[in-house]
Amino acid sequence: MTASKIQDAQPIDTLIVGAGFAGMYMLHKLRELGIGAQVVEAGSGVGGTWYWNRYPGARVDIQSLEYSFGFDAALEAEWHWSERYAPQPELLRYADHVADRFDLKRDIQFNTRITSAHWDNTEGRWLVGSEADEFWACRYLILATGCLSVPTDVTFPGIETFPRPIYRTSRWPREGVDFSGQRVGIIGTGSSAIQSIPIIAEQAVHLTVFQRTPNYSMPAHNGSIPDEDIHARASDPRGYRAASKDTPGGFQNFGNTALATQTSPDEIRAELERRWAWGGFRILGAFADTAIAPAANRIVHDFIAEKIREQVADPAVAELLTPKDHPFGTKRPCVDTGYYATFNRPNVELIDLKSDPLVAFNAGGITTAKRQHDFDAIVLATGFDAMTGAIDRIDLRGVGGRKIKDHWAEGPRTYLGLMVAGFPNMFTITGPGSPSVLTNMINSIEQHVEWIAECLASLAKRQHASIEASAEAETAWCRHVMEAVTPTMMPQANSWYMGANVPGKPRMFMPYAGGLHTYTEICRQVAAKGYEGFVIRNGDSVLSESHDFTSHPPMPDIPEALMPIIIERLMAAGLMPAA
Ligand code: N01
């Protein structure tokens, strides 16, 4: 960065990058504390995920009563969701409503993409630059850049030769797309595709779905909000929120403590049917051993496979749509409205890319090994460079000019998913190493924003000292993130949680799998112990210093019967000494 740019940099206490739910709430919270803050946002409006992902059928897959802010009782009382799972336009209206209600937009600069952020150790500030060469000098930098905001760079041979539109689900045109009368091809069968396929199939004259790997999908049973939830929230709004946050996933899923491997077939069937009928993610909580014991996982897999066969008329197509390469829940499951039944339509065709690989795009459409497919439009629902993509695309340099890309060369390293050693005064909201994508994001965002705000208020009391994660605490936390996931089968899948969907990305399970409730308690204890694991400085003087991270939670309530398998996996991973 040149001296003139540094001179022209706009001074600000805190720069927040991103105006999704995380950036908006962070701004609101800092204003409440009287800490100066400004948000910069690449898009032209607020909403983050819900601003960009405008593809047909996009909707939240956690009930809206829980996937909404709980920090303000009046906001909560005045907003009424129209459905159990709000569609994207309604979520965007909600984001706009929040921004207007709290008068946030006057401190949000839109159409501004941050491309660099360098720590200036002499001045104790970040110098942050945009694509348009605008600069800010800030004491604190908060990355509210989203976990699933940067699409993967996936491309295909000959893609440039296809002369008609190619749409990405995550960069959908604002004016929408009308596929009426068109032959459409869609690549991908993750959540975005599973939501959009039924809607595109209703419009298109013909829809070809190119599937490489089938996913598990549960019915949303979307509709009006269940009376039991309306009543539960109306009678005790604070209690309803607290119950939602005091869970592993940040939403009420009524996890069963029984083990499938110790339950009779009739009781298993009844439990799974009850949860399937309720819909969404509830089946994830059917038994306590599903994520750990292969036999228990197989029981749920078989149940879902049977449900797929019930919905899909052609047994060969049902078989292709049934996941085989990963245990249930080890990739993020999907929630759908009519996905499987869409394959019964005469205008919908499934191409299995495993047996009929994609060869190239061409002027007509797509050639697979077996034949040519002609299209008027093609949709790429091919996913995101998750969790790290938005951060490591910034030229981000900490103490001594160390680049985040180098620090994360073997996978993202953070302390609590909140800070990175050697990158002082830089916070990530729902960053790698925090529960984030394994949870209801809004509840995780609220927890992070409130923790960061409290931390900044405490630093302000000490004349705006700087804070930094110690290298030792970061290492201990990374180890604990591994300890939390290793007992489960999650590392077995080639998932985006593992970075497996991006060629060359290091394989490492990125989110913290210990649960939001456990994690919240750890963060609370860290702060209560005077920011254990952090070094707090004012200029050259060290105000407080701890290199340890000892606030490990006790093993969460794990049924005794699962301990041998857990211990065996921890030992095999070198996370527990051999007996
Ligand atoms: O992306 P994905 P997504 N050739 O990575 C395929 C959240 N979300 O946008 O599995 C052929 O899940 C790829 O195939 P494979 C949610 O957390 C939430 O759908 O790699 N195919 C896969 O099928 C979700 O998990 C909501 O073999 C290729 C697909 O593209 C996350 O976002 C809604 C390919 C990508 O699926 C990501 O979902 C939507 C290639 N070269 C999303 N490359 C809700 O809240 C990739 N694929 C409801």
Question: Tell me: the pLDDT tens digits for 217-268?
Answer: 999 999 999 898 899 999 999 999 999 999 999 999 999 999 999 999 999 9
Q: In the predicted model, what is the mean pLDDT of residues 57-79?
A: 96
DSSP-assigned letters across all residues of 77-137 = HH---SSSS-BHHHHHHHHHHHHHHTT-GGGEE-S--EEEEEEETTTTEEEEEETTS-EEE
Rounded to whole angstroms, the maximal C-alpha distance in the chain is 74
| Count of helices and strands (H, E) across the chain | 18, 21
Q: What separation in Å is there between the alpha carbon of 487 and the centre of ligand 1?
A: 25
474 Cβ partners below 8 Å, 6+ apart? Answer: 413, 414, 415, 420, 421, 533
Q: What separation in Å is there between the alpha carbon of 89 and the centre of ligand 1?
A: 21
Choice from 92, 212, 335, 354 to test ligand 1 binding pocket (greatest atom count within 8 A of CB)? 212
Measured between alpha carbons, how far is 57 from 148 in angstroms, rounded to an integer?
18
- Check if 61 has its Cβ closer than 6 Å to any atom of ligand 1: yes
The per-residue pLDDT for 552 is 77
Q: Which of 103-117, 167-181, 420-434, 453-467 has the lowest mean pLDDT?
A: 453-467
Give the tokens for residue 112: 């501004």
Other beta carbons within 10 angstroms of residue 547's beta carbon come to 16
SS3 389: helix
Residue 13 exposed, middle or buried by CB count within 10 Å (0-12, 13-18, 19+)? middle
Q: In the predicted model, what is the mean pLDDT of residues 381-404?
A: 98
How many CA atoms lie less than 13 Å away from 416 in the CB half-sphere? 36
Measured between alpha carbons, how far is 74 from 97 in angstroms, rounded to an integer?
13
Choice from 60, 62, 148, 149 to test ligand 1 binding pocket (greatest atom count within 8 A of CB)? 148
Measured between alpha carbons, how far is 22 from 490 in angstroms, rounded to an integer?
27
Residue of 8 and 53 predicted with greater confidence? 53
Helix (H) or strand (E) segment spanning residue 150: none
> Are the CB atoms for 120 and 425 separated by under 8 Å?
no
SS3 541: strand
Say yes or no to pLDDT of 555 above 80: no
Choice from 156, 159, 191, 354 to test ligand 1 binding pocket (greatest atom count within 8 A of CB)? 191
What mean pLDDT value characterizes the chain?
96
- Check if 187 has its Cβ closer than 6 Å to any atom of ligand 1: yes
Position 391: which residue type?
Answer: I
Residue 443 exposed, middle or buried by CB count within 10 Å (0-12, 13-18, 19+)? buried
> Are the CB atoms for 532 and 525 separated by under 8 Å?
yes
Position 105: which residue type?
Answer: K
β-sheet bridge partners, residue 348: 207
Q: Compute φ and ψ for 397, nearest 5 degrees.
A: -130, 130
SS3 417: coil
Q: 463 falls in which pLDDT band (50, 70, 90)?
A: confident
Say yes or no to pLDDT of 200 above 70: yes
SS3 145: coil
Exposure letters 318-353 (e unless 16+ CB within 10 A, then b): bebbbbeebbbbbbbbbbbbbbbbbbeeeebebbbe
Helix (H) or strand (E) segment spanning residue 168: strand 166-168
Say yes or no to pLDDT of 1 above 70: no
In percent, how much of the chain has pLDDT > 90? 94
The per-residue pLDDT for 91 is 98
Closest CA to 398 of 3, 120, 15: 120
The per-residue pLDDT for 464 is 77
> Are the CB atoms for 521 and 416 separated by under 8 Å?
no
Which ranges in 204-314 belong to alpha helices (H)? 227-235, 237-245, 265-278, 294-311
Tens-place pLDDT, residues 397-420: 999 999 999 999 999 999 999 999
How many CA atoms lie less than 13 Å away from 32 in the CB half-sphere? 14
Q: What separation in Å is there between the alpha carbon of 35 and the centre of ligand 1?
A: 39
Which ranges in 326-431 belong to alpha helices (H)? 339-342, 389-392, 404-407
- Check if 196 has its Cβ closer than 6 Å to any atom of ligand 1: no
The per-residue pLDDT for 554 is 61
SS3 505: coil
Q: What separation in Å is there between the alpha carbon of 381 and the centre of ligand 1?
A: 6
Give the tokens for residue 56: 């047909």
DSSP-assigned letters across all residues of 291-344 = TT-HHHHHHHHHHHHHHHHHH-SSHHHHHHHS--SS-TTSS--EEESSHHHHTT
Closest CA to 22 of 407, 385, 451: 451
Q: In the predicted model, what is the mean pLDDT of residues 44-60?
A: 98
The per-residue pLDDT for 430 is 98
Closest CA to 130 of 283, 274, 8, 298: 8
Q: In the predicted model, what is the mean pLDDT of residues 310-321?
A: 98
Residue of 445 and 226 predicted with greater confidence? 445
- Check if 214 has its Cβ closer than 6 Å to any atom of ligand 1: no
Measured between alpha carbons, how far is 117 from 137 in angstroms, rounded to an integer?
9
- Check if 191 has its Cβ closer than 6 Å to any atom of ligand 1: yes
Q: What separation in Å is there between the alpha carbon of 328 and the centre of ligand 1?
A: 16
Q: Is the dihedral of CA 100, 101, 105, 110 positive or negative?
A: negative
CA-331 nearest atom, ligand 1 = 25
Q: 3 falls in which pLDDT band (50, 70, 90)?
A: low
Give the tokens for residue 229: 């939830």
Closest CA to 335 of 59, 51, 54, 52: 59
